[in-house]
Chain A
Amino acid sequence: MENKGFSITLRIWKQASAESEGSFQVYKIDNVIADMSFLEMLDVLNEKLLKEGKEPVAVESDCREGICGCCGLVINGDVHGPDEHSTVCQLHMRRFRDGDVITIEPFRASSFPHIKDLVIDRSALDKIIAAGGYISANAGSAPEANSLPVNKPLAEKAMDAAACIGCGACVAACPNSAAMLFTGAKISHLALLPQGGPERHLRALNMVKAMDSLGFGNCSNEYECEAVCPKEIKISNIARMNREFLKANFLSEEEIEK
């Protein structure tokens, strides 16, 4: 097949470690094909750099089909790139033209410590889940399906919240680096289902406490998160988290450990 490659200029954030100073480095790449995904284009760049004996650009990715939440870049100021509600791996080079200059930065938030170049540490999100994103269930064989009736709209709503892949785009896009869309989704998907009932109050208090202690900012309801979320998590999940928190704080007799 004829290679109709085009050339672009990349300005990529290079930073050796969290402690060192970072800066933009400029790379030219000539054989870009429109059908390449954005990550494949970076693979081509890194192969070229390796052949030239230069250090490749550190970038994280895993499933490359938009469901794992590993890849996450800010491309020309757009979190996860210019496509709406999509991950970087689902972005293709046909969105760009010959001669384009593309600026690539890592997700930034003080709760996401920098590791190298475009790679950041998102384990703070796991810590929020560990604080309360679980239910008590009998181990063993699966329960009889009709023993816990859940109506269809509710099941759909819980599923919509559970679709969160924890990529951190909400934090990255938030002017305050708040993790409230993430935490709201995680609290919502359990609060909406009867299985989440027993722990719901302590879950809300514990997960909000964990979120605060990890240094995430406070939501100012600008809804930038909703605009970039690859899984289209709605801000009504943040409102539900707020309700869950207020209910747990004022109406529940349960209290979390200090």
Chain B
Amino acid sequence: MNLRFALRLFTSSLGKKTVMALSGLALTFFMLVHLAENLLLLKGEAAYNGWVDFLLSNPLIPLAELGLLAVFLAHIITGLWVRYENYKAAGFSKYEESKSQGGRTIGSATMIYTAFALLAYLIYHMMHFRFADHSIGFYQMVTEAFRNKVFVAIYVAGALALALHVSHGFQSAFQTLGLNHDKYFSFIKTAGYITALFMTLFAMLSLYFLLGLDAKFSSPYQQKVLETVIN
């Protein structure tokens, strides 16, 4: 059996980029699901905790967590590797007078910085929620965090870094996988910006609780309006 095709995924530039693109798209999909789950917070304690209990009752969850970890590691390792090779090929700044030639965007030029910010944030997020005491209930744990100014500041920064990262990463992944055509590439780019905008909803949700808007919406009339909106 010849496994050179599999080896090439990690030894060649295009192989590494393919792994990075596929894992990136998988993580984007995961974040959209994560966002949908977070939006259940708006429906209240019963809805949110009910969903979490349903998830945790699935015996395959630990396996799924390991899979997610593998995807994260694949994305982080290929990302760092590719960046290191790029540093060897080009250094940090090539010209005394450096200027964009018109292709770069804020998202693309800051990819490595948002990457490190997200990695730091991910570790913080894991410590804060995944490896924390869950005895007070998941809804309580999350909404309490959302009422803490320092936590929300870090959370908003994390969400904005994610949005910036996705704004470039989304179209970049499609291009790497060879999915670029004059007919639809501008649509993919737009879809990427919309996905990035979705990521800012994480930040808005935390601000919603920080500003106490959940309490404001608790009057029977407004509660009803909110329910119709969500349903």
The listed residue (A74, A205, A215, A241) touching B88 by CB distance below 8 A is: A215
**8 Å CB contacts to B: which residues of A83-130?**
103, 105, 108-111
| A78 and B99 contact, Cβ closer than 8 Å, known pairs A211-B13, A217-B86, A238-B175 | yes
- Chain B residues with CB under 8 Å of A225's CB are 103
A28 at interface, CB cutoff 8 A: no
Query: B178 and A239: CB pair below 8 A?
Result: yes
Inter-chain CA distance A162–B173, complex, in Å, is 26
Query: A242 and B89: CB pair below 8 A?
Result: no
| A110 and B88 contact, Cβ closer than 8 Å, known pairs A221-B176, A228-B101, A249-B15 | yes
| A239 and B103 contact, Cβ closer than 8 Å, known pairs A215-B89, A218-B82 | no
A220 at interface, CB cutoff 8 A: yes
Binary flags per residue of B3-15, CB closer than 8 Å to A gives 1, else 0: 0110011001111
- Chain A residues with CB under 8 Å of B91's CB are 110
- Chain A residues with CB under 8 Å of B17's CB are 218-219, 242
Query: A77 and B178: CB pair below 8 A?
Result: no
Query: A176 and B90: CB pair below 8 A?
Result: yes
B131 at interface, CB cutoff 8 A: no
How many A-B residue pairs have C-beta atoms within 8 angstroms? Tell me.
141
Inter-chain CA distance A111–B8, complex, in Å, is 22
- Chain A residues with CB under 8 Å of B88's CB are 110, 215, 217
B100 at interface, CB cutoff 8 A: yes
Binary flags per residue of A215-239, CB closer than 8 Å to B gives 1, else 0: 1111111111111100000011011
- Chain A residues with CB under 8 Å of B82's CB are 218, 220
Counting contact residues on chain B (CB < 8 A from A), the size range is: 35 or more
Complex: chain A residue closest to B9, CB-CB: A249
- Chain B residues with CB under 8 Å of A77's CB are 95-99
Query: A235 and B180: CB pair below 8 A?
Result: yes
Binary flags per residue of A173-214, CB closer than 8 Å to B gives 1, else 0: 111111010000000000000000000000001001101100
Query: A217 and B90: CB pair below 8 A?
Result: yes
| A222 and B175 contact, Cβ closer than 8 Å, known pairs A109-B89, A110-B89 | no
A-binding segment of B45-53, B104-112, B118-126: B104-112
Inter-chain CA distance A59–B86, complex, in Å, is 27
A48 at interface, CB cutoff 8 A: no
| A246 and B95 contact, Cβ closer than 8 Å, known pairs A216-B89, A222-B109 | no
Query: A221 and B95: CB pair below 8 A?
Result: no
CB distance from B91 to the nearest CB of A (A): 8
Complex: chain B residue closest to A111, CB-CB: B89
Inter-chain CA distance A254–B215, complex, in Å, is 65
Residues of A within 8 A of B (CB-CB), count: 52
Query: A255 and B178: CB pair below 8 A?
Result: no
- Chain A residues with CB under 8 Å of B103's CB are 173, 222-227
| A236 and B89 contact, Cβ closer than 8 Å, known pairs A78-B99, A218-B82 | no
- Chain B residues with CB under 8 Å of A78's CB are 99, 101
- Chain B residues with CB under 8 Å of A212's CB are 12-13
Query: B95 and A242: CB pair below 8 A?
Result: no
B219 at interface, CB cutoff 8 A: no
Point out which of B2, B97, B99 has the most chain A C-beta atoms below 10 A from its C-beta.
B97
CB distance from A235 to the nearest CB of B (A): 7
The listed residue (B13, B86, B94, B178) touching A246 by CB distance below 8 A is: B178
CB distance from B225 to the nearest CB of A (A): 43
Inter-chain CA distance A74–B99, complex, in Å, is 11
Inter-chain CA distance A64–B172, complex, in Å, is 36
**8 Å CB contacts to A: which residues of B126-162?**
none
The listed residue (A108, A180, A226) touching B94 by CB distance below 8 A is: A108
CB distance from A130 to the nearest CB of B (A): 18
Query: B179 and A239: CB pair below 8 A?
Result: yes
4 nearest A-B pairs in the assembled complex, by CB-CB distance:
A243-B178, A223-B103, A217-B89, A239-B180
- Chain B residues with CB under 8 Å of chain A are 2, 4-5, 8-9, 12-18, 82, 85-86, 88-91, 94-105, 108-109, 111, 168, 171-172, 175-182, 185
What are 30 A-B residue pairs whose CB atoms fall within 8 Å in the complex? A77-B98, A78-B99, A103-B97, A110-B88, A110-B91, A172-B94, A174-B90, A175-B94, A176-B90, A178-B86, A180-B13, A212-B13, A217-B86, A217-B88, A217-B90, A218-B82, A219-B17, A219-B176, A220-B111, A220-B172, A221-B171, A222-B108, A226-B103, A227-B102, A238-B175, A239-B179, A242-B14, A243-B178, A245-B12, A255-B2
